[in-house]
Structure 1
Amino acid sequence: MKSIIVFTVLIAVAVAVPVEEDHAAVIVKSQNTNIGVDNWKWLSETSNGITQQESGNIGSAQEGISVRGSFTYVDPNTKQQYTVTYIADKNGFQPKGEHLPVAPAV
C-alpha cells in the first residue's frame, strides 16, 4: 500500500512540474512558389525570430537535385542570432555559418 501512495505522489509531482515550452510562436510570413514541375522556392518567418528559405531544382540524372537555402535563429540562452546557409547537391549537404566549425582541407 505504501508503494502505491509513493508512486501516486511521484506521478503527481511529475505532472505538476512546469515545462518551459514556447507555444507562443506563430508564422508571420509564408510564401511557397512552385516554379514548374521540377523547381521550387519557399520562405517562412515566425514571431520568435526564426526565418527559413530554400530554393531548388531537380536536374538530370547526372546532376541530381540541387538545393540552396538558409535559416536564422536566436539562441534562447545567449540571445545571439545565428545564420546557416547551405547547399545540398550531388556533393552532399554543405552548411556554412560563422559559428560552425570548418573541416581541415584534404
Structure 2
Amino acid sequence: MKFFVCAFLLIASACADVSHLTGPQIPILKQANDVGTDGSYAWNFESANGIVAQEQGALKNAGSKDEAQEARGSAGWTAPDGTPIQLTYIADENGYQPQGAHIPTPPPVPQAILRALEYIRSNPPHPDTKN
C-alpha cells in the first residue's frame, strides 16, 4: 500500500502545474566556477534579466591561529522600481561588510550632540563626585 501511495504522490507532483509558483524561467547567459586545491574559489554568472554576480574567496593565514576564510564579491540587478542596484561586499573574520548606495545609512549626529559629547570627553567627572 505504501508503494502505491508513494507512486501516486510522485506521479501527481510530476503532473502538477507549478508555473504560477516559480514564475518565468530566466536563462543563464554566462556562468563559470573554479575551485582550487588550496580551498580558493571563484564563480560568476550573468542572467538574461540583467542579474550579474561574482565572488572569489580564499583561506587567509592558513595553519595559523588567525586562519580565516575571506570572500569578496559583487552583484548587480535592477530593483522593481527600475533603480539599478550595485552591491560589493567582503566577508571575513570581521563579518559580512556590504557596500552600496541602496543600503540605508543612519542620519548624521546633530551638532548639539557632538558638542555635548566633546564637553563630556574634555571634562571628565572628578573621582570624589558621586553619580
**TM-score, normalised on structure 1?**
0.71
Q: 2:42 maps to which residue?
A: 41
Which letter does structure 2 place at the counterpart of 1:97? G
Q: Which has the higher contact order (CA 8 A, sep 6+)?
A: 1
Q: Which amino acid aligns with 2:51?
A: I
Structure with the higher helix share, 1 or 2: 2
Q: When the two structures are aligned, how many residues end up with a matched partner?
A: 87
Matched, 1:30 2:56: no
| Equivalence for 2:97 | 94
- In 1, the alpha carbon distance for the partners of 2:58 and 2:86 equals 23
| Aligned partner letter, 2:76 | T
Using the aligned pairs only, state the percent identity.
34
Q: Which runs of 5+ in 2 are unaligned?
A: 1-19, 108-131
Q: CA RMSD in A?
A: 2.4
Structure 2 counterparts to residues 48-67 of structure 1, below 5 A = 48-59=49-60, 60=62, 61-67=65-71
Equivalent in 64, 80, 92 of residue 83 of structure 2: 80
SS at match of 2:42: strand
Using the TM superposition, give the Cα deviation of residue 38 of structure 1 relative to its aligned residue in structure 2, in angstroms. Answer: 1.2
- 2:73 pairs with 1:69: yes
Larger radius of gyration: 2
Amino acid at match of 1:41: A
More strand by share: 1
Superposed CA offset, 1:16-44 (max 9, x none): xxx59641311000011123331000100
In 1: Cα distance, 2:105 partner to 2:56 partner: 24
C-alpha separation between the residues in 1 aligned to 2:31 and 2:92? 25
Corresponding residue for residue 3 of structure 1: none
